[in-house]
Structure 1
Amino acid sequence: MAGRPRFARSPGLARSRDRPGGCHGDHVCTQRLAMIDLTFAQFAEFSFLKDLEYTQQVNTGQMLFHKGDPAIALFAIKTGRIRLVRYLQDGSVLGLHIARAGETFAEAALFSEVYHCDAIADSPSQVVIYPKSSLIDALRHHPESALHFMALLTHHVQSLRTRLELCNIRSARDRVLACLSLCADSQGAIAFDRALKDIASDIGLTHEVFYRTLSQLEKEGIIARKRRFIQLVEVQ
């Protein structure tokens, strides 16, 4: 649409600092678990946003924005995955977050002059873009929706704090148990909607360590599992 900024950049045009080792750094535990999140569905329920949003297709490897770029929009993902990373001085890549379908990201852009990380498409993605200036102006004129939006952001911060607490658990066994407890329903049942290797990534473990830990917990009779379904039997 004319006049609207196109964010995605060809990977071939990325600056040299954007290339060291690709975007395959270790994940820190600021990624999605089955906890409170500001989801696209919640965000999109604000009717006045329909006049603001537009959608852009991003191909695998394309940069949506760079660290230091002017922060001019907030984003939501309809389909695909966007990886948020920082490139360190030694050339290594620090993975900050993987935003998946149904999530928003770059919320801090509303109150920041620049983006504080790089965003790259981890798979073909359809991204909904909300221009910052238009969104702020709309929230000013819809105070009740603005309060609701603030509440959602507050829940998002609470979720991030919970994830950081989880990541600070040093023992892989205790970290996995804590993750399962967080994700379980009132009957102790967990039905993951993604591959277990993705869950391992979410809590900052390699999939090998995650699988070994699950196997050990199963041998101890603490859990019963079948593929992506896990039942907490006894937590010691």
Structure 2
Amino acid sequence: MGCVCEELLGKDVPVSPECIGNLWLFRNLEQEDVLALVSAAERRIYQAREVIFHQGDPAHRMFLIKAGRVKLSKVHEDGHEITLDMRKPGDFLGEQMLSEETDYPVSAVCMERTLICGFTRERFEALVRERPNIGLQVIRNLSERIHLLTDRAESLSLSNLEDRLYRILVAVAKEHGRRTARGYAIHFPLTHEELSFLVGAHRVSITRAMGKLRETGRISREGRTLLICEEPWS
């Protein structure tokens, strides 16, 4: 079964070569299960700055990103918005759907033109009933995801703020940037306020830490591009 995503987006938008069955949530499924997922998926194109779902909306759908990038943010009671994460092709949104009835704890906003493949709760549960192996493999893959989140938590335990910030920048660059001869490059805006949440430090402290990283040559800027120099031990 051929992928129709290229036809939907057109030639001007890069599309991940991976299809639904190769996304991390559905890895190692049998081919017939992959075909069932592809048949059940609903596809929709979102434009830059368009909201996929709002914080507090009922979590009735799960979205797989085929192309584009999505920012996850949360609004606190005082009205301040904080960025929790940025997702790329191959990631999925709305995992709360896999639990009991709940609401989305964050908002999802497209950072660029984005293609989403989605499943309703009803359709996904029907697939699992028809094909129990899908549910078993999803559980295994979610366990692997927990290990990745644990690694991020360990990076926050480093005592030195510059080291913590550098580790987070490398992690973001590996997922959302591109490899260069010197390390990694991030081509999209990443504010000090967003970094302050990811690292767990005050924005003013992030500004100072970024300055220290530039002084020591661990990061640099070329126009609007942030370059993260790879260290031998990283």
Structure 1 length-normalised TM? 0.63
Question: Does the 8 A contact of 2:43 with 2:115 survive in 1?
Answer: yes
Q: What is the percentage of aligned positions where both structures have the same residue?
A: 18
Deviation at 1:70, TM superposition (A): 1.9
Aligned length: 187
- The answer for the alignment partner of 1:84 in structure 2 is 72
Question: Does the 8 A contact of 1:74 with 1:129 survive in 2?
Answer: yes
1:115 to 92, 99, 104: 104
In 2, the alpha carbon distance for the partners of 1:177 and 1:62 equals: 31
Distance change in 2, residues 1:174/1:127 (3 Å): same
Question: Does the 8 A contact of 2:71 with 2:83 survive in 1?
Answer: yes
For structure 1, the 5+ residue unaligned runs are 1-38, 219-226
1:25-40 maps to which residues of 2 (within 5 A)?
Answer: none
User: What CA deviation, in whole Å up to 9, does each residue of 1:84-111 have, x standing for no partner?
Assistant: 2221121101222211222112112221
- The answer for the alignment partner of 2:37 in structure 1 is 49
In 2, the alpha carbon distance for the partners of 1:180 and 1:163 equals: 11
In 1, the alpha carbon distance for the partners of 2:117 and 2:129 equals: 21
User: Is residue 2:142 matched to residue 1:142?
Assistant: no
1:93-172 maps to which residues of 2 (within 5 A)?
Answer: 93-113=81-101, 114-172=103-161
- The answer for the alignment partner of 1:216 in structure 2 is 216
Deviation at 1:117, TM superposition (A): 1.8
SS at match of 1:192: strand
In 2, the alpha carbon distance for the partners of 1:63 and 1:179 equals: 26
In 1, the alpha carbon distance for the partners of 2:46 and 2:121 equals: 20
Q: Any runs of at least 4 consecutive aligned residues in structure 1 with deviations exceeding 6 A, and if so which? A: 180-184
Distance change in 2, residues 1:191/1:140 (3 Å): farther
In 2, the alpha carbon distance for the partners of 1:234 and 1:116 equals: 36
Higher helix share: 2
User: What CA deviation, in whole Å up to 9, does each residue of 1:113-132 have, x standing for no partner?
Assistant: 22222222222211111112
For structure 2, the 5+ residue unaligned runs are 1-20, 28-33, 175-180, 219-225
In 2, the alpha carbon distance for the partners of 1:196 and 1:62 equals: 17
In 2, the alpha carbon distance for the partners of 1:115 and 1:124 equals: 22
Question: Does the 8 A contact of 1:40 with 1:103 survive in 2?
Answer: no
Distance change in 2, residues 1:74/1:61 (3 Å): same
User: Is residue 2:191 matched to residue 1:192?
Assistant: no
Distance change in 2, residues 1:133/1:211 (3 Å): farther
Deviation at 1:42, TM superposition (A): 3.3
User: What CA deviation, in whole Å up to 9, does each residue of 1:187-227 have, x standing for no partner?
Assistant: xx9853644976x9675385884464264166xxxxxxxx9
In 2, the alpha carbon distance for the partners of 1:76 and 1:141 equals: 21
In 1, the alpha carbon distance for the partners of 2:148 and 2:114 equals: 24
- The answer for the alignment partner of 1:75 in structure 2 is 63
SS at match of 1:232: coil
| CA RMSD, Structure 1 to Structure 2 (Å) | 3.8
Question: Does the 8 A contact of 2:165 with 2:209 survive in 1?
Answer: no
Question: Does the 8 A contact of 1:82 with 1:120 survive in 2?
Answer: yes
